[in-house]
Amino acid sequence: MKVLVINCGSSSLKYQLIDSEREEVLAKGLCERIGIDGSNIAHQPAGGEKVKEEAAMPDHTAAVKLVISKLTDEKVGVIRSLTEIDAVGHRMVHGGENFSGSVIINEEVIKAIEDCNDLAPLHNPANLIGVRSCQAIMPGVPMVAVFDTAFHQTMPEKAYLYGLPYDYYKKYKIRRYGFHGTSHDFVSKRAAEILGKDRKDLKIIVCHLGNGASVSAVKYGESVDTSMGLTPLEGLIMGTRSGDLDPAIISFLAEKEGMTASQVIDVCNKKSGVLGLSDGYSSDFRDLVQASETGNEQAKHALEAYAYRVGKYIGAYAAAMNGVDVIAFTAGVGENNAEVRAMIGEYIGYLGTNIDAERNKVRGEEIILSDEGSKVVTMVVPTNEELAIARETVRLVK
Ligand code: ADP
């Protein structure tokens, strides 16, 4: 089957066309500035050059049309016609408590996703616009919604409830949901596979360390805790997000800086994390490592605070599961940034991880970092959220 995987944001649309039998990407690309002046598309067929061009995209339907025209283009296309697309998999950010797995999209499902809009006001409506646009252009093609939150729906109440009046949970569903679920699921499964074991027999901690970052505790195949909460702001220090804070800071800062609460939250989302800690130097971990190595103290402190927080979460999740067998690093930083992995390694040696300095130099590939016979296997497992979405899509439409 050929599956089109769509990740639709408010002004962007990422896509991959995947051959599900061979699990190969046939083409991928990104539309940016949809509905804004200067909209452009970058399209890349497998094995070919990336072509970037400006093109008018007044709305998402126009963007989907353009994607189809690229996929079927004589020069840069990879299929002859639209009819070769067998199914579409949509990445959905928030499924609330309504979805504990992927589903085939119908009107009832769309309504249930809309019911979660309050929980992800920036993401869910944008994801749904992507669905509507694809439905308009590919009527009759089955579509599947794959949720970032679904994998974490197995968390027990003690992990997902905040210490707030219970009434707020009942009235507004304020609780921890967790995100990056597709990645935590994919990576924990793959880690077990690499080790030749059944995930149902393992206690795995997955560290998804990208621009956005989260840690999860996957016990015997189920997520029992994860660091992101009601929104992706909770937990680790990230590229630009603060992660855990004393909630009293919000009103304190609002008063001092003359901001509204939502303006403070905006600072917490966009100007904090390692960007904020490095005094605005960069949110990119490559830049920070380089700067730190050439004497930028602020960048060094940002990385130290980052690694310390990851280390603390690993410790917490080892406790949550009463043990840990495997720690898997994934996403941009987890897969590639040997320096940051080594810094995190400093905090988890007591678990019996024995990370080998030579093996830890590897970037972007599956590898076991621990010495043979280590009590806890530490490894790098590259994530592939698009492939996971394509697999889910095929599983449901077949
Ligand atoms: P997201 O998908 O959340 O936007 P990614 O998973 O792509 O983010 O991660 C982005 C981060 O990964 C950046 O901070 C970047 O510096 C880091 N990264 C990517 N490639 C490398 C590399 N080769 N070496 C070190 N860090 C890298």
Look at the alpha carbons of 288, 290, 296, 301 in this order and tell me if their dihedral is positive or negative.
Answer: positive
Q: Is 333 in the pocket of ligand 1 (CB under 6 A)?
A: yes
Ligand 1 atom index nearest CA of 334: 12
247 and 366 share one domain:
yes
Predicted pLDDT at 118? 87
> Are both 131 and 234 inside the same structural domain?
no
Q: Which domain holds residue 73?
A: 2-147
Token output for 23: 């699990």
pLDDT at 46 over 90: yes
User: Do the domain assignments include residue 177?
Assistant: no
CB 91 within 8 A of CB 127: yes
CATH number, position 364: 3.30.420.40
Q: Does 143 fall in a domain?
A: yes
Residues 140 and 221 in one domain: no
The one catalytic residue among 115, 148, 201, 266:
148
How many independent structural domains does the chain possess? 2
Average pLDDT of the chain is 96
Residue 331 lies in a domain: yes
Q: Which of 12, 337, 343, 381 to mutate to test the pocket of ligand 1 (most atoms within 8 A of CB)?
A: 337
pTM as predicted: 0.95
Tell me the pLDDT tens digit for each residue of 50-70: 999 999 999 999 999 999 999
Which residues sit in the known binding site for ATP? 14, 208-212, 284-286, 332-336
Query: What is the SS3 string spanning 326-365?
Result: EEEEEHHHHHHCHHHHHHHHCCCHHHCCCECCCHHHCCCC
- In testing the pocket of ligand 1, which one of 7, 30, 284, 333 has its CB within 8 Å of the most ligand atoms? 333
Strands 377-380 and 326-330: parallel
Please state the rounded mean pLDDT for residues 18-25: 97
Average pLDDT over residues 236-259: 98
Taking alpha carbons only, the member of 156, 228, 226 closest to residue 188 is: 226
Q: Does the annotation mark 148 as catalytic?
A: yes
